[in-house]
Structure 1
């Protein structure tokens, strides 16, 4: 057996006990309720799917049920905007720095000149990025995003969860305030409701852990799908995205995650986490019970265990 095969064999043997050890932490978390539809998620659920660059996979726990991408989608809309317009255009409207604030905070927009979002993975930044997706209408922009997501996941089954989309749209008052502030600052030029429609839709794309793992694998392999040989993303844009994932991907717990796990990652308030071992694995995790920072409490613990046991940290 190769080294990679030996490691996968070890993961297969030990993953069930690691999952169950982490599952106990779900009792400490809370399912997101500020988007009402998300409150229906099973609090005790925990699942993981790991896919290798050779196409082998290992899964554990409740990895079969669907959940919405939420903020995980921001990684890929950033990449699509970069592919549409290039770095100079995108980063004239969105910064490159962590905030240290909550993902939906308006504080830095008001305090720091010139009033652009600090990075593309907080809500304000992702709303600005959504306005940069190429297309003549919100429908066309959203259709392009969904096609891109499907190509990365190698799956035509990815689609919108209309109930979650409606729930987000009907209750997204804070995001509307962010968007109107951006409009007032000249960061977005399009109609605010049109931009928010694109944003709410890409957050509400429904996927599974295996979809996340395949999308992560493309990033892990520098933008090329190792299972088809097709380059889907320029390498430079993957480098940018992975850097943001390390510095900003786990909200204002990104530094802690970098120390304890040491892998690029992006979480969402549905409880999903997309992460990877560069060059080797794409990983998708779901655990709807969240810690106070908005990350899956059991999912983070499970990734901490895997990284420690398998020496996965990049640092």
Structure 2
């Protein structure tokens, strides 16, 4: 489990009004507080900020209510879609969806792609005001807007799990930025861990040394890095920046899945999600382009299994 970076300054919840008492203003801006005109202006600015703070909280509450309506209306649609996909046995539906999304495809290796062919469903559950008690999201420490991504798999030769999860605990008063990211452990079958590679080296006396090393894989998504303790003075700032960049990229993938890929999965499966024109008005030249791309994909099929990316 890891803490995410703080939200961008322009997106943070406003400073709490109660923190701007007269006494605190006198300590924060003593030079202004000692001059009557400047003090009056400073107090007026404080009052305006309090008004803004009140409006912002109303805005957040309105978004929460709207999110509740959206989640309730979308859930039965997603449930019916899953039923139709299961009934039709379209085994490659979600692997094609991922392959046709630039953000996801860039994080998928050739070996990942083989495992993702066993993916049967991707869903998102968001915490709302009325989240049911049975839900894992019914955690009093998780603000409204926190969400869990679920990836369901058929029995496969790679891991034992049938469901992999990734949870995002959103910032209080601002459910658009995560404060925590929680992955899950994957029970890999022997020799099938896609997140590590095995290095073998022959020594001078003929012995073989075996060493495992982390490697690029989409499945690293389920084990996000941890930020070091803020009180640890020995932490390398460069390392912190690198981890923050990884967590930013991680949340970009999560947002892509939650807001785009999951609701528009059919369009990605048909490879028309990125086209600006009406989906039903492709002319013959566009159809020919699709056929040409398919032919080219076939020409490139014989690729080394150890390639790092698709």
Q: Which category describes the TM-score, using the shorter chain as reference length?
A: under 0.3
Structure with larger RCO (C-alpha < 8 A, sep 6+): 1
Of the two, which has the highest radius of gyration? 2
TM-score by length of 2: 0.24
TM-score (structure 1 length as normaliser)? 0.24
Identify the structure with the greater helix proportion: 1
Structure having the higher strand fraction is 2
